[in-house]
Amino acid sequence: MSSPRFCPYEEGIDSRSPNRNLAPLSAAVDLEHQLWVGGCRLADLAARYGTPLYVLDETTLRAGCQAYCHALARHYPGESLVLYASKAHGSLAMAALMASEGLGLDVVSAGELLTAIGGGVDPRNIVLHGNNKSCVELELALEHGVTVVLDNWLELGLLERLCNQRAQRVRLLIRFTPGIECHTHAYIRTGHVDSKFGFDLEELEAVLRRLATAPWAEVAGLHAHIGSQIFELQPHQDLAAIMVKALVRARELGHHPKDLNVGGGLGVRYVASDDPPAIGAWVQTVSAAVVAACHQHQQPLPRLLCEPGRSLVATAGLTLYQVGSRKEIPGVRTYVAVDGGMSDNPRPITYQSRYTACLPQRCRDAATDTVTVAGKHCESGDVLLHNIPLPPVASGDLLAVWATGAYNSSMASNYNRIPRPAAVLVHGGQAKLVQRRETHQDLLRWDILPEHLRQSGSVPIG
C-alpha cells in the first residue's frame, strides 16, 4: 500500500513557536481530506482506542521544549533552566519526555512529585510549589532532595521543625507576590496583591531576616509568577525589575541566592483571533529585563529559571469525540452532542474558554453549518463550543477539538460517574498508549457498601 500524499492542515505554521498554532506541528491532510497527526490517521486512532481520546503530538512537545532552551541560550548570557509546570498535563510519559529534553519539573503535590521521580527527572531539577503543603509533601521533598518554594509563615515553621528533626538543610526559593496585574481570567491571575500565593512584597524582608539566622535553610533564590494565558510582554519586564531589586536586598541581608524564577504564563492560540507572543519573543523580553536590572544594580547575573506549562503542551494536544444526538431549535441554535464534555474538558464551564474544532474525516469540506457542541453531562452549562462553523454534522461523525493538551486531562473528573479518557502519544506513524481508559469497574473500586445498607437484590459489579 503506497503512502498517502499530504498537505499541511494549517497555513503559516510557526514551527519555532508551537504556542502560536491552532493544530499540532505534524497535522496534515491526505487526498481524501482525512486528518493525520504524528503520522497517524485520527479516524484510525478513534477506532483503535475509542472516544473521547486525548491525542498528544510528540513533535510539537519537543519543539516547544527546544524553543525555550534555544531562546535562553541565545538571549540570556548566564545560566538557565526550564522547568515544566506539570500541572498542565501530568503523567509518567510527560515527565520522561520533558527530562529527555533537559527540562526540570515544577510540581505542586505529592502525586506530581512522585510522578516526576517515576519519570526519571533529576530531583535537583524539581521544585515543589503549593500554598498549603502537607507534612507528607514536605517530608517527601526533603527525602528526595528537591527544592521547596516557600510560600507562607506556617510552612516556614513546618520546614524548620522537619529539618531539625532530620538534621537536614533544605534548598528554598521564596515566593512573593509582586503586585502586577495582567489582563487574563481572574482565576488565573497570581501576581497581583490579592492572591492566595506567596508572601506579600512588604513581608519579604521579614522573611529574609528570619531565614538569615536559620541554619536549616539555604535561600537559593526568589520566585514570582504573575498569571496564566498572558499575551502581554510588559508585565514580564516589570516583574524582572522587581525581582532583581528583591534579589539585591536578599544579598544585603547575608543570603547568597543564585536563582531567579520568573514563573511562566505565556499564552497560546485557542481560536484564530488569538495572537500570543512567540516563545522566543517572551524569552528575549525576560532575559533583556533581567540583564538590564542586574547591570543597573551592579549585580552578577542569577541563574534564570522559568516555568512554562500551557505554552509547551496545549497545542500539542487534541481531543477526539464522536457525535451523537442533534437538536435543532428553529431561529435559536442547533446543538450537536458528543460523547464527552465537562468531565474531560472543564475549562469552558469553569473559565468560559473558547476552542476550535473540525471534522477530521472531512476537514476540507465547506463549513456551511453553525452549531453549538454540547457535552453529555447532566448540566445545561456543559457546552464545549458555542456557535462554531462546521460542515454538516451527523450522528457518528468524529469531532477533533484543538489545543486541549493543557488543563484537560489534568483537570478531568468522573462527574456523572463517567470514566476518564485514554491518552496516546503519536510520532512517526506510531501511537503509544500513555494513559489507559478508565473502566466502570475502576469507578467502583474504592466504594465501600456498608453491610447494613446491602439489599437482598444487590448485584456485585466486576
Dig out the grid coordinates for 60 from the structure: 510539537
Residue 334 in 3-state DSSP?
Answer: strand
- Residues annotated within a binding site for pyridoxal 5'-phosphate: 265, 307-310, 407
Beta bridge partners of 219: 172
DSSP-assigned beta bridge partners for residue 171: 218
Q: Which residue, chain included where needed, has cell 547575608?
A: 254
Cis (ω within 30 of 0) for the bond into 52?
yes
The conformation of residue 442, written as its DSSP 8-state character, comes to H
Reading the block at residue 286, the C-alpha cell is 525576560
DSSP assignments along 359-390, one per residue = -TTSTTS---EEEEEE-SSS-TT-EEEEEEEE
CA dist 419 and 439 (Å) reads: 6
Bridge partners of 371, per DSSP, are 388
Q: How many angstroms separate the CA atoms of 109 and 4, rounded?
A: 45
Which strands form 28-30's sheet, in the order they lie side by side? 6-8, 28-30, 35-37, 40-41
Alpha carbon 270 to chain centroid, angstroms: 14
Catalytic residue among 69, 294, 363, 378: 378
Decide if 195 contacts 205 (C-beta within 8 A).
no
Task: Report the alpha-carbon distance of residue 261 to residue 222 in Å, rounded.
Answer: 6
320 DSSP assignment: E
Whether 306 sits among the annotated catalytic residues: the reply is no
DSSP assignment letter at 255? -
Annotated binding-site residue numbers for substrate: 310, 347, 351, 379, 407
The residues, any chain, with a CB within 8 Å of residue 63's CB and separated by 6 or more, are 15, 16, 18, 25
Q: How many other C-beta atoms can be found within 10 angstroms of the C-beta atom of residue 450?
A: 6
| Distance of alpha carbon 130 from alpha carbon 53, whole angstroms | 30
Angle value at C-alpha 115, between 184 and 316, nearest 5 degrees: 50
What is the Cα–Cα distance from 278 to 38, expressed in whole angstroms? 23
Q: Cite the active site residues.
A: 378
